[in-house]
Amino acid sequence: MDKLDALESQSVYILREAYREFKSLVMLWSIGKDSTVMLWLARKAFFGHVPFPLVHIDTSYKIPEMIKYRDELALKFKLNMIVGQNTQALKDKRTFPDGALDRINCCKALKTDALKNTLSGAWPRLRLNHKTGQYEVDTNTEPYIGVIVGARADEEGSRSKERYFSPRDRNSDWDVGDQPPELWNQFKTDFAPGTHIRIHPLLDWTELNIWEYIQREVIPITHLYFDQGNGKRYRSLGCYPCTFPVDSTAKNVADVVEELKEGKFKNIAERSGRAQDKEDNGGLETLRKEGYM
């Protein structure tokens, strides 16, 4: 087995364990490269079919191409697509772009609060109707207990403290110091009732692993990751007021792989273009303790 085969095998194993252990299971899909690789792995794990819903939290400030890509792939792969949103905050203009909040509190309102209330079923969920291509109010309000997330340990500091099966309390709050040991591929999946579990199939993948796998598998990825002729591309995707491209002439997956192998970004954090990270003391631990992705 080469490195990618070993990573793929481990991730597929984690996905199947999660499906076996947790009745109410969903996968978060941010539309970025990591969660799209995770989606691809889920299709492999279950022979072309994803047997659980995909949840996307729409802040309404995503780059438009991201939403277009989301819906095209959801229809193509016949995904059970769920969208959640903090509609009240948007209606009241309690956001950073409207000048009412700083970036951290905007993330908390539009991402953390929206995610927690979408997962619990407290706020309305929208489900993609594959016949009409439109989103309609979902009648299912059952809480989602197991949540599959595309976090990687090397991406930023707080993610390196996660486990493959990482417990949260009833409010989705994360106690960093109370994480179960995971030795020799032995995973704790038996938690007290009411515990909310985050599952991380990509924990041991690196940025280079992700791009090499995209190249090997020919995974369809949004063109935002590539230079469109202006010498810039996105290395990490988020809301457009807080996400900035990097200088790069990589025009395709092979170029990105070569760029990473050359070490161009060796001393530049992957999320260096994400402004909210800088406002959270250079990381996301504050937000993630409260339920952020």
Percentage of the chain beyond pLDDT 90 is 72
Instruction: Look at residue 121 and tell me whether its pLDDT is greater than 60.
Output: yes
Instruction: Look at residue 127 and tell me whether its pLDDT is greater than 60.
Output: yes
Average pLDDT of the chain to the nearest whole number: 89
pTM for the model stands at 0.88
CB 251 within 8 A of CB 226: yes
Q: 3-17, 21-35, 218-232, 264-278: lowest mean pLDDT where?
A: 264-278
84 closest CA partner among 105, 104, 103, 56: 56
Q: What is the pLDDT of residue 289?
A: 52
The DSSP-derived string for 36-72 is HHHHHHHHHHTTT---S-EEEE--S-B-HHHHHHHHH
CB 67 within 8 A of CB 77: no
Instruction: Look at residue 230 and tell me whether its pLDDT is greater than 70.
Output: yes
Tens digit of pLDDT for each residue in 10-33?
999 999 999 999 889 999 999 999
Percentage of the chain beyond pLDDT 70 is 85
Residue 267 structure tokens:
């001393």
Instruction: Select the more confidently predicted residue: 189 or 50.
Output: 50
User: pLDDT-derived band of residue 202, with 50, 70 and 90 as boundaries?
Assistant: very high
* Residue 101 to residues 26, 237, 278, Cα–Cα distance (Å): 30, 21, 16
Instruction: Look at residue 194 and tell me whether its pLDDT is greater than 60.
Output: yes
